[in-house]
Amino acid sequence: MQVTTKEVVEKFNLTLVSGHEGIGRYITTSDISRPGLEMAGYFTHYPANRVQLIGKTELSFFEMLPTELKKERMLKLCSHETPAIVVSRGLEVPVELIAASNENDVPVLSTSMKTSSFSSRLTNFLESELAPTAAVHGVLVDVYGIGVLIIGKSGVGKSETALELIKKGHRLVADDCVEIRQETEDLIIGSPPPLLEHLLEIRGIGIIDIMTLFGASAIRPTKRITLIIELENWDPDKTYDRLGLDEEKMKIIDTEITKLTIPVQPGRNVSVIIEVAAMNYRLKKMGVNAAQEFSRRLDEVIAIQDEMDDY
């Protein structure tokens, strides 16, 4: 994924001071550099591919330098790899920086925000935009605040189950195709493709607009995925987990997410099962595990029985 300097200018309403020809440069990393060492002349490990953020500290030191050194430092700062240089706090941009940026087509931007505040906001924006992405075939629903990704073979009833959940007051995020991005190591966010926003496909009916039918409260644009439920047709020869002691995981990008497999057959209310699964997942995160409690009670009963057998 890539972000252009022009997108950052528009996002944060920055002023383009110089280096207009480089406005289309790509930003490929969310890391931001404060070039204090570079101002002092140390360019051995200069991270030229990062956005360079200059604040009051850097500029006050820069003003102490001789004129020739000012020109030299700014020319080195404006490398052919540098996507942009941002001057914060509305500070005056040095003429040496303007000349160097125009010479090497490096855009110099200005913002009235404080240095630390802008650095934090820009980092968050870049991390979100540059996050690894993937697409998964399934339905993403917000059930009791839990982002539940429903997957399974075509025709197993994913969309119909989602419709039942929506009727019960839960919210649709995406149907058919879920676009996923990993914002941090264990944070997976799902959203719909723009073409499929608010839409749900029901076989026999066709495409329906959930927001039009159920209102704005029935949808949400994004949701963190914390639970995956796979629907599969009931297989009488397969042994399904009846206690819930073994927790299965599914890896999406670089994050492992808890996965449950629910067999589907006539008479099973899958939407209710998913509601219970979401509530049970929340209880587990709060430290309440019914399966472990049952196992503990069973161990106690067995221990008591063994003691009685010894007498």
**Active-site residue flag, 70:** no
CB of 133 closer than 8 Å to CB of 33: no
Q: How far apart are CA 250 and CA 259, in angstroms?
A: 6
Half-sphere exposure of 212 (CA within 13 A, CB side): 6
Q: Which two tokens stand for residue 82?
A: 């540098």
3-class DSSP assignment, residue 114: coil
Backbone angles phi, psi at 221, to 5 degrees: -75, -35
Q: Of the residues 50, 73, 158, 223, which is catalytic? A: 158
**What is the token pair recorded at 224?**
């963190």
Confirm or deny that 159 is annotated as ligand binding.
yes
User: How far is 149 from 158, CA to CA, in rounded Å?
Assistant: 10
Asked about 137 being catalytic, the answer comes back as yes
- 3 φ, ψ to 5°? -125, 140
Which of 255, 257, 251, 277 is closest to 170 using CA atoms? 277
Is 156 part of any known ligand binding site?
yes
Q: Parallel, antiparallel, or unpaired for β 223-224 and 146-152?
A: unpaired
Q: Count other C-beta atoms under 10 Å from residue 93's C-beta.
A: 18
The residue among 138, 160, 165, 144 whose CA lies nearest residue 259 is 138
Q: What angle do CA 200, 202, 208 make, to 5 degrees?
A: 45
Of 71, 76, 89, 176, which one is the catalytic site residue? 176
| 152 is known to lie in a ligand binding site | yes
3-class secondary structure, 16: strand
Q: Is 30 annotated as a binding residue?
A: no
Whether residue 153 is annotated as binding a ligand: the answer is yes
CB 120 within 8 A of CB 53: no
Instruction: Please identify which of the residues 137, 167, 203, 249 carries the catalytic annotation.
Output: 137
Q: Which of 237, 242, 251, 309 is catalytic?
A: 242
Show which residues are catalytic.
137, 158, 176, 242
**Annotated binding site: which residue ranges?**
152-159, 201
**Annotated binding site for ATP: which residue ranges?**
152-159
**Annotated binding site for Mg(2+): which residue ranges?**
159, 201
